[in-house]
Amino acid sequence: MIIIGECIHVIATSIRKAIEGRDKGFIQELAKRQVDKGANIIDLNIGPQKKAGAEVMPWMVETIQEVTDLPLTLDTTNAVAIEAGLKVCKNKAIINSTDATEERLNALMPLAAKYNCDIIALSLAKVGLPTTADARIELAAEILAVAEAEGVPSDHIWLDPLVLTINGNQDQTLETIEAVRFFKQMADPAPMTTCGLSNVSNSCPEELRPLLNRVFMVMMAGAGLDSAIADPLDEKLMEVVKILADRDDSTVKGKLYLDLYDAYQTGEQLDSSAVDMSDPEVSDIVKTIRIMQNETLYAHGYLRL
């Protein structure tokens, strides 16, 4: 699982102030912390930056490249800022992101071709949020067709199924997972897949969010998810990434996560009825799996039931 470190995001007041004050040290320290914790790629989210984007993005790129050689994702809705950042990237970068709207495709897919870089593409159109796997697949097909026309190889496209929160959209979890499964079969070579992992737990209590994110990541990984835009400073999340990478079933928790992964790799749901739930942590994971599989109804207090 490729982890795209999400911590440098202008929505955070500290990041916004560091950008405004051109505080390289603060930005670099946060980048190094993500690298040390196992991030594979660093996302640089500067927001729209309509006026200063062409200056801010290359400054951000050069600031990060002083302390790490990891690839970068350039995250902004400002296409001019994206290109300014691409011009100073030392390594192959990723544009974050386009979608299936004509405006975004026309602005960003040519940049992916021009700079031979990868591009994240969300299954999103002007008509509204997709609510089925089929709707997501149709949008992905439109994106891949434009990529082919622009000369962007299919394996340079990172398809994002657009994860919705489980709070109020519980049926969307399995639809999203099925979309990822089909995304990997849509072209040869297969496109890459990614998602904004924490979207699944948006509007849920803060104490529940890390667990919801971890369980969802394992299910998505089994279905073919290559990467996740996530927080590498979340030690328990990175522990699960390692469990999957090492196939470490030496603990009950590790075996449970691997069984979940394997079930979704074969297109099945996990039957958790035989799992020993005497360990509170294992019990919480099982209850979360049942929520994600739409077996029980999500409520903020589901772990207490």
Q: Which domain holds residue 99?
A: 92-230
Q: What is the pLDDT of residues 33-79, one digit of tens each?
A: 999 999 999 999 999 988 899 999 999 999 999 999 999 999 999 99
- 0.85 exceeded by the pTM? yes
H or E element: which one contains 42? strand 41-45
Q: Per the domain annotation, does 217 fall within a domain? A: yes
Distance of alpha carbon 4 from alpha carbon 8, whole angstroms: 11
H or E element: which one contains 74? strand 72-75
Domain count, the chain: 1
How does residue 113 score in pLDDT terms, banded at 50, 70 and 90?
A: very high
Distance of alpha carbon 39 from alpha carbon 230, whole angstroms: 9
| Residues belonging to the chain | 305
Average pLDDT of the chain is 97
Q: Per the domain annotation, does 176 fall within a domain? A: yes
CA distances (Å), origin 266, targets 12, 167, 181, 212, 234: 39, 27, 10, 22, 28
Distance of alpha carbon 156 from alpha carbon 159, whole angstroms: 10
165: domain CATH number is 3.20.20.20
Q: What is the dihedral of CA 269, 274, 279, 282, to 10 degrees?
A: -10
Given this model, what pLDDT does residue 127 score? 85
Distance of alpha carbon 154 from alpha carbon 38, whole angstroms: 27
CB atoms within 10 A of CB 297: 10
Distance of alpha carbon 48 from alpha carbon 59, whole angstroms: 15
How does residue 240 score in pLDDT terms, banded at 50, 70 and 90?
A: very high
CB atoms within 10 A of CB 267: 11
Amino acid identity of residue 161, one-letter, is P
Q: Per the domain annotation, does 166 fall within a domain? A: yes
Q: Per the domain annotation, does 175 fall within a domain? A: yes
Q: Per the domain annotation, does 74 fall within a domain? A: no
- Please provide the distance, in angstroms rounded to a whole number, between the alpha carbons at the two ends of the chain: 32
Q: Per the domain annotation, does 287 fall within a domain? A: no
Closest to 1 measured CA to CA, from 153, 183, 201, 194: 194
Q: Per the domain annotation, does 235 fall within a domain? A: no
Q: Per the domain annotation, does 286 fall within a domain? A: no
pLDDT over 70 percentage in the chain:
100
**Residue 181, CA atoms < 13 Å, CB-side half-sphere:** 18
